[in-house]
Amino acid sequence: MTEKFIPLIDQRQQRSLSNIPAVLQEPSGLLSDAMGRPLHDLRISVTDRCNFRCVYCMPKEVFGKDYPYLPHASLLSFEEITRIAKIFAAHGVKKIRLTGGEPLLRKNIEDLIAMLASIRTTDGTPLDLTLTTNGSLLTKKAQTLKDAGLSRVTVSLDALNDVIFKRMNDVDFSVAEVLEGIQAAHAAGLGPVKVNMVVKAGMNDQEITSMARYFKDTPHILRFIEYMDVGASNGWQLDEVIPSAEVIRRIREAGMPLLPIDANYAGETAERWQHLDGKGEIGVISSVTQAFCRDCSRVRLSTEGQLYTCLFASTGHDLRHLLRNSEAISDFQIANVIASIWNVRSDRYSELRSQHTEGLHAERKKIEMSYIGG
Ligand code: SAM
Ligand code: SF4
Ligand code: SF4
């Protein structure tokens, strides 16, 4: 047996203070980074805490009882998040995804959703407001989330077999409760519900075909995610990744023929497939084997207000110090700071990783998924 070394490091300290540019410009809604990529999608982590201990995300060995979670005062308030979100909308963001940690653990999250739902895009339309959850609190909360203005949810579910699922979430949470949450979300009008399954070789890959069969004739969209080398806690190894092509092959081989279908929009992370009999769609997210950096229009805001221009970035840009500065800094100034960050963005970690995976993974210091959100 090979032993895995799980480093205990705190990447949250690495941040850069953002300066206000000397020459200020009105946001045009058409930001473009150094590689010509627009800014459309903002992911906001609302908590770094979670009630699961998924082995690929928050393994118990690292996220134990004494783990130093962020103190409440460090977290952006709902007013601060909404202020930042409005500025991003003026820059052309159309979609906001709330994530974490487990976003439904953040107290009164419905109030934040209602505040974000009042924001308008540069076209005058409401934002596409979504949330990714482990589903544990969804049965209880689906209707209030919908009433607050949430558009859709994505629910993570890594297996249908209870033994395997419990081994993955490591807190003895049952499949039935997540399925009930998915049902509740659908009934509340938060559909089509996307169901995310992270596939880890030797852990849950035997569940690929039963998951595909179970969700085939439902209105929910099942998406298989390649296990990624995010953070430094999960001891990621390349041989634990099942390539999406292999996922598709196994589903076809199990008697479920699939046809590729067009992307909904440029930059969509999932490659879409449809069952040949027209009953149901699945998606594959190939972050490891087929990098999609070229169209990446996503930016991430951490729980404490650090802005990350890539999931694999080691350093965040501190926006919170602008929000809490003793000299009042205007939205206009903050908008210009954000523009100056995006204009020089050249991140393309996954593409580079595809070229020399092991080396790049080993040499980078990366932040945890539970801190920055998926
Ligand atoms: N707790 C919520 C949940 O699990 O849906 C939201 C946060 S979670 C970090 C967001 C997504 O990231 C989940 O779908 C999760 O499965 C995925 N994820 C976490 N670690 C991952 C990894 N190492 N590789 C691929 N996906 C990962
Ligand atoms: Fe929690 Fe989501 Fe990470 Fe699982 S994937 S530990 S549910 S934050
Ligand atoms: Fe975007 Fe970075 Fe992921 Fe590439 S690696 S798709 S730039 S978040």
Going by C-alpha positions, the residue among 315, 316, 292, 297 that lies closest to residue 306 is 316
How many Å lie between the centroid of ligand 1 and the Cα of residue 369?
7
Find the ligand nearest to 101 CA.
2
What does each C-alpha distance from 330 to 10, 31, 92, 325 come to in angstroms? 31, 19, 19, 10
How many Å lie between the centroid of ligand 2 and the Cα of residue 220?
20
- Stretch 192-202: mean pLDDT: 97
Would you say residue 1 has pLDDT above 90? no
Per residue in 132-148, pLDDT (tens digit) is: 999 999 999 999 999 99
Q: Is 88 in the pocket of ligand 1 (CB under 6 A)?
A: no
At 291 the pLDDT is 80
Q: Is 283 in the pocket of ligand 1 (CB under 6 A)?
A: no
Cα–Cα distance for residue pair 39/299, rounded to 1 Å:
7
Q: Is 105 in the pocket of ligand 2 (CB under 6 A)?
A: no
Q: Is 102 in the pocket of ligand 2 (CB under 6 A)?
A: yes
- pLDDT band, residue 367 (cuts 50/70/90): confident
- Stretch 289-298: mean pLDDT: 89
User: What CA dihedral angle connects 113, 115, 116 and 120, to 10 degrees?
Assistant: 140
Q: Is 100 in the pocket of ligand 2 (CB under 6 A)?
A: yes
- pLDDT band, residue 303 (cuts 50/70/90): very high
In DSSP terms, 282 is beta-bridged to: 222, 273
How many Å lie between the centroid of ligand 2 and the Cα of residue 326?
36
In DSSP terms, 284 is beta-bridged to: 224, 271
- Stretch 295-319: mean pLDDT: 94
At 212 the pLDDT is 98
- Stretch 166-180: mean pLDDT: 98
| Nearest protein Cα to ligand 3, atom 6 | 293
In DSSP terms, 275 is beta-bridged to: 258
How many Å lie between the centroid of ligand 2 and the Cα of residue 123?
34
Best substitution site from 47, 60, 134 to test ligand 2's pocket, by max atoms within 8 Å of Cβ? Answer: 134
Weakest mean pLDDT among 56-60, 163-167, 184-188, 326-330: 326-330
How many Å lie between the centroid of ligand 2 and the Cα of residue 50?
6
Q: Is 158 in the pocket of ligand 2 (CB under 6 A)?
A: no
- Stretch 100-125: mean pLDDT: 98
How many Å lie between the centroid of ligand 2 and the Cα of residue 49?
9
Would you say residue 232 has pLDDT above 80? no
Cα–Cα distance for residue pair 112/78, rounded to 1 Å:
6
Would you say residue 270 has pLDDT above 50? yes
At 6 the pLDDT is 38
At 239 the pLDDT is 92
**Hey, what amino acid is at 98?**
L
Best substitution site from 50, 178, 200, 311 to test ligand 2's pocket, by max atoms within 8 Å of Cβ? Answer: 50
- pLDDT band, residue 93 (cuts 50/70/90): very high
Mean pLDDT of all residues belonging to the chain = 91
Q: Is 196 in the pocket of ligand 1 (CB under 6 A)?
A: yes
Q: Is 57 in the pocket of ligand 2 (CB under 6 A)?
A: yes
- Stretch 87-109: mean pLDDT: 97
Ligand 2 atom with least separation from CA of 63: 6
Positive/negative CA dihedral, 185, 187, 190, 195? positive
Per residue in 3-33, pLDDT (tens digit) is: 343 334 445 556 676 789 989 999 999 999 9
At 4 the pLDDT is 41
- Stretch 239-265: mean pLDDT: 95
How many Å lie between the centroid of ligand 3 and the Cα of residue 311?
6
Ligand 2 atom with least separation from CA of 50: 1
The domain ranges of the chain are 8-372
At 52 the pLDDT is 98
At 67 the pLDDT is 96
At 316 the pLDDT is 94
Per residue in 27-81, pLDDT (tens digit) is: 999 999 999 999 999 999 999 999 999 999 999 999 999 999 999 999 999 999 9
Would you say residue 338 has pLDDT above 60? yes
Would you say residue 121 has pLDDT above 50? yes
- pLDDT band, residue 360 (cuts 50/70/90): low
At 19 the pLDDT is 83
- pLDDT band, residue 234 (cuts 50/70/90): confident
Find the ligand nearest to 372 CA.
1
Find the ligand nearest to 294 CA.
3
3-state helix, strand, coil in the chain (%, to 5): 35, 15, 50
Q: What percent of the chain has pLDDT over 90?
A: 78
What does each C-alpha distance from 236 to 45, 55, 98, 294 come to in angstroms? 22, 10, 25, 24
Query: pTM for the full model?
Result: 0.93
Q: What class has domain 8-372?
A: alpha beta
How many Å lie between the centroid of ligand 3 and the Cα of residue 160?
30
Report whether 117 contacts 127 (CB < 8 A).
Answer: yes
Ligand 3 — pocket residues by CB below 6 A? 291-293, 296, 298, 310-312, 347-350
